[in-house]
Amino acid sequence: MAQKFDVVVVGAGPGGYVAAIRCAQLGLSTAVIEREYLGGVCLNVGCIPSKALITAGHFFDKLQHSAPEMGIRLPKGEATIDMAQMQKWKTSVCDRMSGGVEQLLKGNSVAILRGEATFKTAHELNVKSSGGMETVTAKNFIIATGSRPIEIPGFAFDEKFVLSSTGALALSELPKKLVVIGGGYIGLELGSMYAHLGVEVTVVEAGPGVLQGAADPECVQVVARKLKKTGVETLLDAKAKGWKKSGSGVEVTVDVKGKEQTLKADKVIVTVGRKPNSDQANLKGIGLQIDERGFIKTNSQRRTSHSHIFAIGDIACQPMLAHKASHEGVLVAEVIAGKNRAFDAKTVPAVIFVDPEIAAAGMTEDEAKSAGYSELKVGKFPFAANGRAVSLMEAEGFVKIVADAKTDVVLGVHIVGPDASNMISEAALAIEMGARLQDLALTIHPHPTLGETMMEAAEAALGHAIHIIQKPLNQRKEGPSLRANA
């Protein structure tokens, strides 16, 4: 006999488990179906493990380069890496977070069904597990089945020599050389992390630059310089053609601007993007509309072509970010419960955990101009002029604020520098609230902190930053953009 629920959530990632908990809080009988691990890709083979290893790499790099200058000496010489222990620690972090999700689901009386879900009809699905097959029905369904890494021709994942991001986070031994195919945010996060651990890294990027379209160009320039300083080789306008085994490692053939090169390495990491899992669970079979990129078509309430079926997270639309999925999970739960809600966020902040970090909320200068803002105020404040950043020995980068010159309303904030990932939340709140430059500039920020740079970037845009020397207003460049740089 089929189990019946008010809501069945397919997928227990950061969108699915949040949706399930909120549904249960709202008094709806709820089940969540998961085929692999609670917390999904994010908590187990994505966001959390990658940031754990990035933290380890950053810490090791500081031991090697910053600690001696601070007067800190290691009693037995240089620091060394125990990769097995690092993986053990990383796994403990993931297990703790995944275990926490299970406790939250159970604590909110959400039924957890483990197995592979396949829609039989638009109102009924089968769940296949090691214990057999069971049928589940519901008044509403939420599809939150996420995405997976994209393979490219000639580089099928075997997770031994050719690694996806999942395999790249599970290496039990530290390689000496790595080739990373793809200079987007995943490739550079992984490449930077391994470079900090002492690995020789070569990034192969098909475009004319790294992080193309992923961040403000000025922010990308800072990261590109740091990559070079760290020893990461970047091949631009380069296409990986194929690979073969060579001894215990590999040889990768690359076409760089029409000239063929051979790169020797221990492993190849392919990070050219992710694709929605819309070819699974018989989604097309029940008549859901899927666009040419593989996303399920939804409206602003994340309803699909079947009004009782919703889609959230990576499978629904860009941006493919965990925090966007979680926001949609709460939204959809409240829509199902009868609340009048729709996705209307002014901005979805984004973070790239490279070195230094990049974080952004709102529009770039070019995006603002394309949106019709003919006159802008742009203020920048460098971390080199911030006492806390200097004391951390992480003074590279800046905070940039883009505002409408007519109203001083903040349109975008772009940060490249230490702890940008945490600082960007203030910017996201400012944009959501329609804050003006004066709101940020007149808010007293504690000293000495990195957050002061947000205040001073706003002051710079207004023409009166204290801790940088600015040209008088009558000597500055006038035109579509009034720039106030360090």
Q: Where in the sequence numbering do the catalytic residues fall?
A: 447
SS (H, E, C) the chain: CCEEEEEEEECCCCCHHHHHHHHHHCCCCEEEEECCCCCHHHHHHCHHHHHHHHHHHHHHHHHHHCHHHHCCCCCCCCCCCCHHHHHHHHHHHHHHHHHHHHHHHHHCCCEEEECEEEEEECCEEEEEECCEEEEEEEEEEEECCCEEECCCCCCCCCCCCEECHHHHCCCCCCCCEEEEECCCHHHHHHHHHHHHCCCEEEEECCCCCCCCCCCCHHHHHHHHHHHHHHCCEEECCEEEEEEEEECCEEEEEEEECCEEEEEEECEEEECCCEEECCCCCCCCCCCCCECCCCCECCCCCCECCCCCEEECHHHCCCCCCHHHHHHHHHHHHHHHCCCCCCCCCCCCCEEECCCCCEEEEECCHHHHHHCCCCCEEEEEEEHHHCHHHHHCCCCCCEEEEEEECCCCEEEEEEEECCCHHHHHHHHHHHHHCCCEHHHHHCCCCCCCCCCHHHHHHHHHHHCCCCCCCCCCHHHCCCCCEEEECC
**434 Cβ contact list (under 8 Å, min separation 6):** 409
Distance CA 180, CA 271 (A): 7
Strand partners, 263: 252
> What is the torsional sign of CA 48, 96, 22, 41?
positive
The token pair that represents 144 in the structure block = 């939150």
Q: What is the distance of C-alpha 70 from the center of its chain?
A: 32
Exposed / middle / buried, residue 64 (Cβ in 10 Å: 0-12, 13-18, 19+): middle
First to last CA, the chain: 69
The closest alpha carbon to 350, from 416, 297, 271, 276, belongs to 416
Strand partners, 180: 203, 269
Using an 8 Å Cβ cutoff, are 381 and 453 in contact?
yes
